[in-house]
Amino acid sequence: MKKPPSPPLVSNVAIALNAVIAVVDGDRPEVLCVRGAPGVADRDLALPYGPFDPERHRTFEIGVREWVERQTHVTLGYVEQLYTFGDKGREAPAAALAGGAGERVVSVGYLALAPSPADLLTEDAVWSDWYSFFPWEDWRGGEPSILRERIIPALDAWTGRAKTADARERRKMRINVSFGRDGFGWEEERTLDRYELMYEAGLVIEAWRDRVAAKLEPPVGGEPGKGETGIAMISDHRRILATAIGRLRGKLKYRPVIFEMMGAAFTLLQLQRTVEAIVGFEFHKQNFRRSVEKSGFVAATGEMSSETGGRPAALFRVDRDGLKDRAAAGLAIPRNKAIGD
């Protein structure tokens, strides 16, 4: 039997390392960003990132920790690998930092969690509210007006531009599932699905920027105004951030990762506000309290907090034994009411 030919060797691949560093400050979920990265405009926002150096970095994680500390002077605590991003054409302008124009750049993304935003010692680093990048994802005050007034009408118009009835039906179904329309209901974990659908429909600045860079025709329809559908990021960093948010939202339900984002002592209301900030909608207070108290994840400290603005509230701490015993369990997410259709 003839031996099949060996696959061609690929020599122009660079590996980049990206970090999504998430905290909740009060009721604001924030992500650490950098400005002035090599090869991009001075004020464009990026996630901390840099090339993997096989001579210097024994592991990817060592590399990403080094790049974050070098760019932001922040030392990472809890870190987990998020995803590998390798689609062709996604690398510009990150290629300038990761090895030069013309290289195929594969990015290994990491998700890092911390209990509070670290003090920043460089002007090139900034903590940014992640809803400034995805304003349609925050339902804590009800349905975001940008959905009703801008996104859904534009997506309906995009559906109408499909060339066949089957294509129109497929687009309509994707919109319904991703955005919780027509009885499907909003699923907070679909952060990436919503962003990618908006990218495909030309509703985010990156879709226009990337097509111009590739010398392609721009999308049909008006170009989004600056910040109109969220703040843009370099390369595909907003896509990476959407992936991280969706991962964290989903993981809250089956892993006790939320306690990586809590301080040494906290009230149950502070815990609730932290989880609400991440998932983007409000909970039924008493149901949430009961589910936490039964979870085995927390223990009362016997002390009270007077920082709530009302009556003193009991302080709790993480029960490390309970956390260890139930490492494969998360928190119940008791919605206050249905969101979406």
Q: Measured between alpha carbons, how far is 144 from 142 in angstroms, rounded to an integer?
A: 6
How confident is the model at residue 81, as a pLDDT? 95
**Residue 20 falls within a domain, yes or no?**
yes
DSSP one-letter code for 283: B
Percent of the chain with pLDDT over 70: 86
**Residue 319 falls within a domain, yes or no?**
yes
- 137 versus 305: which is more confidently predicted? 137
The count of C-alpha atoms lying within 13 angstroms of the C-alpha of 107, restricted to the half-sphere facing its C-beta, is 30
The distance from CA 31 to its chain's CA centroid, rounded to whole angstroms, is 8
Q: What is the mean pLDDT of residues 47-51?
A: 91
Domain hosting 166: range is 139-229
- 213 versus 164: which is more confidently predicted? 164
How far is the CA of 274 from the CAs of 7, 240, 301, in angstroms?
49, 22, 19
How confident is the model at residue 224, as a pLDDT? 87
Q: Model's pTM, two decimal places?
A: 0.90
How confident is the model at residue 96, as a pLDDT? 46
**Residue 282 falls within a domain, yes or no?**
yes
* Residue ending a domain, choose from 112, 132, 152: 132
Q: Measured between alpha carbons, how far is 229 from 159 in angstroms, rounded to an integer?
A: 19
* Residue ending a domain, choose from 74, 97, 132: 132
Q: Measured between alpha carbons, how far is 278 from 257 in angstroms, rounded to an integer?
A: 12
Burial class of residue 146 in the structure, from the number of CB atoms within 10 Å of its CB (0-12 exposed, 13-18 middle, 19+ buried): middle
The answer to whether 42 touches 234, Cβ cutoff 8 Å, is no
**Residue 268 falls within a domain, yes or no?**
yes
Task: Provide the pLDDT confidence category of residue 94 given band limits of 50, 70 and 90.
Answer: very low
Q: DSSP secondary structure string, 218-258? A: PPSSPPPPTBTTB---STTHHHHHHHHHHHHHHHTTTS-GG
pLDDT > 50? residue 82: yes
Q: Are residues 20 and 106 in the same domain?
A: yes
Look at the chain and report how many structural domains it folds into.
3
**Residue 236 falls within a domain, yes or no?**
no
Q: Are residues 107 and 59 in the same domain?
A: yes
The per-residue pLDDT for range 124-168, each reduced to its tens digit, is 899 999 999 999 999 999 999 999 999 999 999 999 999 999 999
Burial class of residue 148 in the structure, from the number of CB atoms within 10 Å of its CB (0-12 exposed, 13-18 middle, 19+ buried): exposed
pLDDT > 60? residue 176: yes
**Residue 224 falls within a domain, yes or no?**
yes
* Residue ending a domain, choose from 106, 132, 158: 132
DSSP one-letter code for 286: H
Task: Provide the pLDDT confidence category of residue 38 given band limits of 50, 70 and 90.
Answer: low
CATH of the domain at 41: 3.90.79.10
Q: Measured between alpha carbons, how far is 200 from 176 in angstroms, rounded to an integer?
A: 15
Other C-beta atoms lying within 10 Å of the C-beta of residue 106: 17
* Range name among 46-50, 203-207, 220-224 with the lowest pLDDT average: 220-224
